[in-house]
């Protein structure tokens, strides 16, 4: 049985078991015991095995990708095409979300008593996010912080600064192309060795994937309150519809036009990545699988995957941007705040920018979403209204994020004269 088939079975089994437990045993003490001592630890072990390899993988693959490109003019050309693609696709995603939320107006469907109940239930969690956000500097300081004073402290934090890591990797890769080849060769071999080690560890971790995925999905679905999902159903439907339109409408067109590739074949070849992204809710945790699948299934050259995909895991957050745009307008509707077309354009710009800066970890976009709410005068405490449904939406938007990364890598490979594997 193929790996993606095993993961899919684990996904279905975990989801079904979680839903049944939520319906019949929501108040039973044994359910919390299963969650705390079995499903949560197993899911976290699987996630940690993948995330453990992210920093060495990003550093090695990105530095090698730049070094293997060799010509700095060629690097600049590929970099320009990559960033342009990211910005174009992310802006398209936000625009789709805003059109849908203006047409459906999900905020008008939320009863006042439900809003009060949600604000009360998630008040403490929302306050913690708001307090943490107040310490977050966003703007010109974000650009300054990309260049770290101490590269080791930037990556030795519980939530590493991925933009700083990308900058360090790019600088090392550029330096390897400039210095004498004989001096560069030992470090290149070392980076290749690190890359090979990460592949071995990732393959070992993916053997646990069916069980890890089942545990992660069980933990999520067994905790879902169906009353909450019903109350927020129109909001959830709006987000999911936007994600589906982008995933199965925009991406196939982009793959066909830019990569000259059969969209159905493309989705069939990357389904393992989509399943991993859905279950982990993390672009960073999915990155090892994304690189492996892109090289082995699609035949994208390693220097392109090594350059484009680590960048994409941090900067190309199509699903996150769409989610942020929909959420801002949904909360505006809930609080009866009218946002003019000009303000909505600001929401588009800020959603794109904050999506680039959001962490590629579960719910990594929530703190930056608070910044957008404050900017357009929506009460930041309103974030409590959507927190209960965020995990489900996070799983879905991460699929969009990683799929967008691979479509970009396919486009870059084709534009550089490489043929994708049929």
What's the chain's average pLDDT? 83
pLDDT interval class at 217 (50, 70, 90): confident
pLDDT at 100: 94
Q: Give the length of the chain.
A: 422
- With 70 as the cut, is the pLDDT of residue 150 above it? yes
Quick one: what percent of the chain has pLDDT higher than 90?
20
Residues 398-418, mean pLDDT to the nearest whole number: 92
pLDDT at 1: 67
List, for residues 24-48, the tens digit of each pLDDT value: 887 788 888 888 888 888 888 888 8
The more confidently predicted of residues 229 and 301 is 301
Domain regions of the chain by residue span: 70-173+225-415
pLDDT at 268: 92
pLDDT at 200: 84
Q: How far apart are CA 186 and CA 16, in angstroms?
A: 51
pLDDT interval class at 239 (50, 70, 90): very high
pLDDT at 140: 64
Residues with Cβ < 8 Å from 32, sequence gap 6 or more?
Answer: none
Residues 110-125, mean pLDDT to the nearest whole number: 74
Record the pTM: 0.80
Select from 309, 51, 60 the least CA-distant residue to 159. 51
CATH number (3.40.640.10, 1.20.810.10, 1.10.3720.10, 1.10.3860.10) of 70-173+225-415 reads 1.10.3860.10
pLDDT interval class at 96 (50, 70, 90): very high
Residues 99-104, mean pLDDT to the nearest whole number: 92
């Amino acid at each position: 049985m193929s790996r993606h088939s095993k993961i899919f079975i684990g996904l279905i089994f975990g989801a079904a078991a979680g839903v049944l437990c939520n319906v019949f045993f929501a108040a039973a003490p044994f359910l919390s015991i299963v969650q705390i001592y079995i499903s949560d630890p197993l899911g976290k072990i699987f996630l940690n095995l993948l995330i453990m390899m992210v920093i060495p993988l990003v550093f090695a693959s990105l530095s090698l990708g730049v070094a293997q490109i060799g010509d700095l003019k060629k690097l600049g050309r590929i970099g320009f095409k990559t960033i342009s693609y990211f910005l174009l696709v992310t802006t398209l995603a936000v625009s789709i979300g805003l059109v849908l939320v203006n047409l459906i107006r999900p905020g008008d469907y939320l009863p006042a008593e439900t809003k009060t109940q949600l604000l009360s239930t998630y008040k403490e969690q929302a306050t913690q996010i708001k307090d943490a956000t107040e310490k977050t500097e966003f703007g010109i300081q974000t650009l300054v912080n990309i260049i770290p004073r101490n590269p080791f402290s930037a990556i030795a934090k519980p939530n590493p600064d991925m933009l700083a890591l990308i900058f360090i990797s790019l600088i090392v890769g550029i330096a390897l192309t400039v210095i004498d080849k004989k001096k560069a060769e030992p470090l290149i071999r070392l980076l290749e060795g690190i890359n090979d080690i990460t592949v071995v560890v990732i393959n070992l971790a993916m053997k646990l994937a069916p069980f890890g995925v089942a545990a992660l999905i069980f933990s999520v679905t067994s905790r879902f309150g169906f009353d909450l999902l019903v109350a927020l159903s129109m909001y959830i439907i709006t987000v999911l519809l936007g994600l589906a339109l982008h995933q199965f409408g925009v991406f196939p067109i982009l793959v066909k036009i830019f990569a000259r590739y059969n969209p159905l074949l493309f989705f069939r070849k990357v389904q393992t990545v989509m399943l991993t992204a859905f279950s982990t809710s993390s672009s960073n945790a999915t990155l090892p699988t994304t690189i492996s699948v892109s090289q082995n299934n699609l035949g994208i050259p390693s220097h392109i995957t090594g350059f484009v995909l680590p960048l994409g895991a941090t900067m190309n957050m199509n699903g996150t941007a769409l989610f942020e745009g929909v959420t801002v307008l949904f909360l505006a509707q809930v609080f009866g705040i009218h946002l003019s077309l000009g303000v909505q354009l600001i929401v588009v710009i800020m959603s794109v920018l904050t999506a680039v800066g959001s962490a590629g970890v579960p719910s990594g976009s929530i703190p930056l979403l608070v910044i957008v709410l404050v900017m357009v005068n929506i009460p930041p405490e309103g974030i409590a209204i959507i927190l209960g449904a965020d995990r489900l939406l996070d799983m879905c938007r991460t699929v969009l994020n990683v799929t967008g990364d691979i479509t970009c890598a396919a486009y870059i490979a084709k534009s550089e004269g490489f043929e994708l594997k049929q």
